[in-house]
A and B are shown apart, each in its own frame.
Chain A
Amino acid sequence: MKSDFEVIVIGGGGGGAVVARELSEKGVSVLLLEAGPWYGNRKWPKPNDEQGAKSSSQYEDLSIDILKECFTDLEDDMNSLISGKFRWGPANRNQGPWERRVAHGGFTWQNSGIGGSTLHYLGNSPRAYPQAINRVWPITYDELIPYYEIVEKKLSVSPAPALAKEELFYYGAQRARWEPLETKDIMSPGYRAQPNAILRRSQPFEYTLENSKSYEPYGCSFRGHCVNGCHIGPAVEAVAKRSTFASYIPYALKTGNVEVKPNSFVIQILTEENENKEKQAIGVIVRNTWTGEISEYRADVIVMAAGSIETPRLWMNSNLPENEWVGRGLVNHWFDCVTGIYEEATLMENIGKPNIKPYVGQNSAVRFDYPGLGVIQTFGCTPGVFSSLLYASSDKGYYFENETNPESPWDFEGAVIGEQLKEFMMNYQKTLCVIIFTDDEVSQQNGIILDREQKDENGYIPIITYHPSEKDRIKRDKLAVIAANILREAGAKTVIRANWSPDIYIHILSTMRMGFVTNTDCETLQVKRLYIADNSVLCNSLGGPNPTLTTQALATRTSEKIFSKYFASYHNKPAQ
């Protein structure tokens, strides 16, 4: 059977969109299949209400006006895990979300839709720690650097500007005698402005360089809605936060070589034996999330970029060959959250402002890196998401169940509810929160399996399990003490440690590890012509840093590998 496309990419998120652009710019014809909706495209004027068109392949289809209608800045509308526009579920919100089994009352926080989890991400784009790559991964950090540079340029990654909450963190970190960091390649502990993919006002980037007409002002307006979906800009490709729907997809469409189908859930990878008796991927079976209609598409190469849960789930649901590392080795940075509450007089004295308004400014604009332990970064946003992350999530029960003493680094530990919650939230404007990412270690015990007794319309449901190690616990406790100390040095009157459950999945990585499931080009070892380009192919936790940039760098590299192995010989158009 003749192939419909040269490459099929499964998933239009942080990784898949990169592959779609990189390959289409080399002249390769690409079909991009995305399970969720597309916000900001004329073919889907009401993406959650009506099924709209089947596909879009025109740059002219993009519409900033539709994007602004869809992204309402309202956090239940956008971020409810059950019915929010950014939930993991079908575009049609009259249907429930897609089910996952998470132990111990935890949850996964991923987005379906063009842009994937970069829809709600905070734009943070640090590199991995070199020591977490060298001699641990089958490739070196130096091999990644040129690809980091490409993505950093395409996303216009630059140091985040500081407003009040950042000034307060800098003040505390300086007083705690940590060093400022001035490199992207982090070898020692210290603090720095978040390298993020959020355009500063009038910062030059690809869009402005390509066009000569004059624009409305563009760039971040510090409205504080990174997590609720950024729509600030005069056009989709100029939206301040560089989610892939704004950064990579518009440029892919401009090539004329890409067809994008949202609302298309891939439920099976098709394979056959090649002349060398090797299994190879030849196509996919797709289910339309509105109509249930089943379609089949063929291509020369298939790229899985469905995320660290769905990629192994799809592998297993497709009955691809057994591999003891498929779905295994999951790390999630075992997050924690430490919060400081300040008095007005202290804030006036330390930063010259009466409050820090966590809902103003970029959601996370300063970070602290500690190779060997992990990451601490500031986090501020609208009050619903803010309260539920700071005060509702604990593995240590409620604050009133846990004793603290004057020597404790924090005054409260555990979930905060009741009148105490209201009292803390009354101080919302004077609250500085930091989130911890632990450099957690890979274990084959952790990961995704299928619930063989329960299916949804897309196949067996994934069960996600994760138990951190004692080493992880020690690292995380050290980071919590450092965080509490920085908050105290900044003058916090009250410090609260949430002590999150390990079953909260926000960064989800390394379930299809390079070297175990794929070769160093990210082609799977057991199925030829099948590649992986999402967080699942990362080998480990990266040492703690946010994973998106590394996945995008790797996806850029993988695109080159795919092109040179399968397409370079008969494509006239030279690589760009």
Chain B
Amino acid sequence: MDSELNGEDKVLDYTLKQTKETFEAFVEAVIPRSPKLAEQYGNIQYYGALDFLIDEYLIITLNEYHPDLAEATAEMLNVAAEKLILRNENREPVHFNGSGNFSALTPNDRLLALALLKKYQYTSSHLLFPFENIFFNITDNLIRITMMGYYSEWFGYGMTRLKMPNERILEFYPLSWNQVGYPGPVPGHVFKNSQEQKETQV
């Protein structure tokens, strides 16, 4: 998964290391690699969001929404993780690794950190300082965007995946479609012959 696709990795050029690693930690929590599923259902089920570079998808999507939003969001996730740790609400041990508090949490604790932010906005905005405005729009959306990136065609844009939306060209169907049994859009028009029509209607 990491050969030619990472060759032109522009995201790394402008993204701080900690930001990249925070998003990697985030997408890994939402759609992890799963050796257990692979054992049970076949190797294809091993791959997760990291393999399909969904951290990059999150970074470019957030920055398309608002310049520098990705950096600020990573900051917010790290503040949330710190609050979770200080409140002793993490359920599993923390493994500090020099990449910020968020990636030091176990995957489920990372999501609890996000849930903490969400809970607190109802009663207290000071926790969010200085991210109130950003937070306004993105907590649940981070998870939605991760799933959209993972299960949509985005990874299939291959070398063009980091280009502006109009310049992306679908190079292949993403492996996530194989994981779920989605055959991809039916090419051409189903009325060209009756057989195609029949197949589409199965």
Q: Which residues of A contact B (CB under 8 A)?
A: 46, 48-49, 72-77, 79-84, 93-94, 96-97, 101-107, 163, 216-217, 221-223, 225, 232, 357, 359-360, 382-388, 391-394, 397-398, 400-401, 415, 417-419, 421-423, 425-426, 428-429, 501
In the complex, the chain B residue whose C-beta lies closest to that of A425 is B180
Q: How far is the CA of A393 from the CA of B143 in the complex (A)?
A: 8
A419-B37, A421-B147 known; 17 other A-B pairs, CB under 8 Å?
A49-B166, A72-B185, A76-B148, A77-B168, A82-B62, A93-B165, A94-B166, A104-B121, A105-B137, A221-B197, A222-B201, A383-B176, A385-B152, A388-B151, A391-B147, A392-B147, A428-B182
Within 143-202 of B, Cβ neighbours of A (below 8 Å) are at 143-154, 164-166, 168, 170, 176-177, 179-182, 185-186, 189-191, 197, 200-202
* Given contacts A74-B153, A383-B152, A388 and B182 within 8 Å (CB-CB): no
Q: Which of B62, B111, B138, B151 has the most CB of A within 10 A?
A: B151
Chain B residues whose CB sits within 8 angstroms of the CB of A107 once the complex forms: 137, 141, 144
Contact A397 B115 (CB under 8 A): yes
Report yes or no: B200 in contact with A398, Cβ–Cβ below 8 A: no
Residues on A with C-beta less than 8 A from B118 are: 104-105, 397
CB-defined contacts of B151 to chain A, threshold 8 Å: 383-384, 386-388, 425
Judge whether A76 and B108 touch: CB under 8 Å. Answer: no
Q: Which residues of A contact B121 (CB under 8 A)?
A: 104
B11 at interface, CB cutoff 8 A: no
List the B side residues contacting A387 at CB < 8 Å. Answer: 147-148, 150-151
The complex places the Cα of A394 from the Cα of B143 at a distance, in Å, of 11
Known: A105-B141, A398-B115, A400-B108. A223 touches B186 (CB 8 A): yes
CB distance from B112 to the nearest CB of A (A): 8
Main secondary structure of the interface of B (DSSP, over half): helix
Which residue, A232, A387, A401, A428, has most C-beta atoms of chain B within 10 A? A387
Structural contact, A101 and B136, CB atoms closer than 8 A = yes
B87 CB-CB contact with A under 8 Å:
no
Contacts of A415 in B (CB 8 A): 140, 143
Known: A76-B149, A76-B152, A397-B115. A359 touches B182 (CB 8 A): yes
Q: Is the CB of B137 within 8 A of A384?
A: no
Interface centre among B29, B66, B136 (most CB of A within 10 A): B136
How many residues of B sit at the interface, in one of the four size bands?
Answer: 35 or more
Q: Are B64 and A82 in contact (CB under 8 A)?
A: yes
Inter-chain contact B147/A82, CB cutoff 8 Å: no
B34 within 8 A of A: yes
A556–B61 CA distance with the chains assembled, in angstroms: 40
State how many angstroms separate the Cβ of A107 from the closest Cβ of chain B: 6
- Chain B, residue nearest A97 (CB): B65
Q: A223-B200, A418-B107, A421-B31 are in contact. Are A96 and B191 (CB under 8 A)?
A: no
Q: Are B30 and A417 in contact (CB under 8 A)?
A: yes
A384 pairs with B66, CB closer than 8 A: no
| Chain B: minimal CB distance from A320 (Å) | 27
B31 near A93 with CB under 8 A, answer no
Q: Separation in Å of the B116 CB from the closest CB of chain A?
A: 10
Q: Is the CB of B32 within 8 A of A385?
A: no
> CB distance B191 to A383 under 8 Å?
no
Can you name 21 A-B pairs with beta carbons within 8 Å? Answer: A46-B166, A72-B170, A76-B149, A77-B165, A81-B141, A82-B61, A82-B145, A104-B122, A104-B139, A106-B140, A217-B191, A223-B186, A360-B202, A383-B151, A398-B115, A418-B107, A423-B37, A425-B151, A428-B180, A428-B181, A428-B182
Interface assignment of B100: CB less than 8 Å from any CB of chain A: no
Given the known inter-chain contacts A221-B190, A392-B144, please indicate yes or no for A105 contacting B139, CB distance below 8 A: yes
Contact indicator A382/B32 (Cβ below 8 Å): no
B135 — which chain A residues lie within 8 A by C-beta? 105
Cα A64 to Cα B167 in complex, Å, equals: 22
Assess whether B166 is in contact with A75, with CB atoms less than 8 Å apart.
no
Q: Complex formed: what's the CA distance from A102 to B138 in Å?
A: 9
Q: What separation, in Å, do the CA atoms of A71 and B136 have in the docked complex?
A: 31
Q: Which residues of A contact B170 (CB under 8 A)?
A: 72, 74
Q: Which residues of A contact B41 (CB under 8 A)?
A: 426
B101 to chain A: closest CB distance in Å?
A: 20
Instruction: Return chain A residues, CB-CB under 8 Å to B143.
Output: 392, 415, 417
List chain A residues, Cβ under 8 A from B137: 101-102, 105, 107
A266 to B166, CA, bound (A): 26
A221 to B188, CA, bound (A): 12
- Does B64 contact A96, Cβ atoms closer than 8 Å? yes
Q: Which residues of B contact A397 (CB under 8 A)?
A: 115, 118
Name A431's closest neighbour in chain B (CB-CB): B180
* Chain A residues positioned under 8 Å from B34 (CB to CB): 419, 422
Contact yes or no, B177 A392, CB < 8 A: no
Q: For A72, what are the chain B residues with a Cβ–Cβ distance below 8 Å?
A: 170, 185
Residue interface bits B93-123, CB-to-A below 8 A is 1, else 0: 0000000000000011001000100100110
A74 to B174, CA, bound (A): 12
3 closest cross-chain pairs (CB), A and B: A384-B152, A105-B139, A73-B185
- Complex formed: what's the CA distance from A216 to B197 in Å? 14
B36 within 8 A of A: yes
Residue numbers in A under 8 Å from B64 (CB-CB): 82-83, 96
Assembly CA distance A105 to B111 (angstroms)? 15
B111:A393 contact, CB within 8 angstroms:
no
The answer to whether residues A93 and B136 also contact, given A74-B153, A76-B152 and a CB cut-off of 8 A, is no
Please tell me if B78 contacts chain A, counting CB pairs below 8 Å: no
**Given A82, A222, A501, which contacts B200 in the complex, CB threshold below 8 Å?**
A222
Partner of B179 from the list A217, A392, A425 (CB cut-off 8 Å) is: A425
| Across-interface contacts of B202 in A (CB, < 8 A) | 357, 360
> Given A105-B139, A392-B144, A418-B108, does the pair A76, B154 have CB atoms closer than 8 Å?
yes
B84 CB, nearest partner CB in chain A, Å: 14
* B residues in contact with A102, CB < 8 Å: 136-137
A82 touches B65 (CB 8 A): yes
